[in-house]
Chain A
């Protein structure tokens, strides 16, 4: 079964540094998402992306964050000037279309630790 793959599985960075989290969505999917989960708790929506544009974003997704799909396969989340509170599990997801009933398929996540 096709999978969403994320790299790296664990990223450690120092406060103030920039990180890029990478994702390869399922190949025929058109919508892409980033979510984060702090300490195994609530899963928070960050951003959705379609046709090389942001479709929706949450209040969490401020100027510190950016997304892009640089080469038609990878989907990346960049966090500039990381803060301690950015430490979380970041999940990438993709869906086949934006039809309301289309489920999201998640990767196994990247654990980001900011020290």
Chain B
């Protein structure tokens, strides 16, 4: 069965600094990987995905993620954080046979001005 680990409950970064939110996964076969963001009292909003191809994928709002097959990781990154990036971030994985996305426990990103 597939699973996702987000080792950090919270990441704190100053505005303008680069940010990284970590994610590792376990899945049979090739993974489909996703990042979502959740603002308070809202649903999950799709940011980006990895299917195949380039290991660096770009998504919404300046976010990008780096797929590393040997480390089974899919870390979310942004070169320069904004206060408005403060939210709850979820990594998710789907295997080739399934329909469901399986989510990690989430990481709260706090960007200070």
Report A-chain residues with C-beta under 8 Å of the C-beta of B106.
41-43
Contact with B along A94-107 (1 / 0, CB 8 A): 00001011011111
Residues of B in contact, count (CB < 8 Å):
25
Docked pose: A35 CA to B43 CA in angstroms? 11
Residues of A in contact, count (CB < 8 Å):
27
A40 within 8 A of B: yes
Docked pose: A4 CA to B42 CA in angstroms? 12
A106 touches B32 (CB 8 A): no
A5 CB, min distance to chain B CBs, angstroms:
10
Docked pose: A15 CA to B36 CA in angstroms? 33
B96 touches A106 (CB 8 A): no
* A104-B105 contact, Cβ under 8 Å, with A33-B100, A56-B99, A98-B99: no
Report B's interface with A, CB cutoff 8 A. Answer: 32, 34, 36, 41-46, 49, 51, 88, 90, 94-96, 98-106
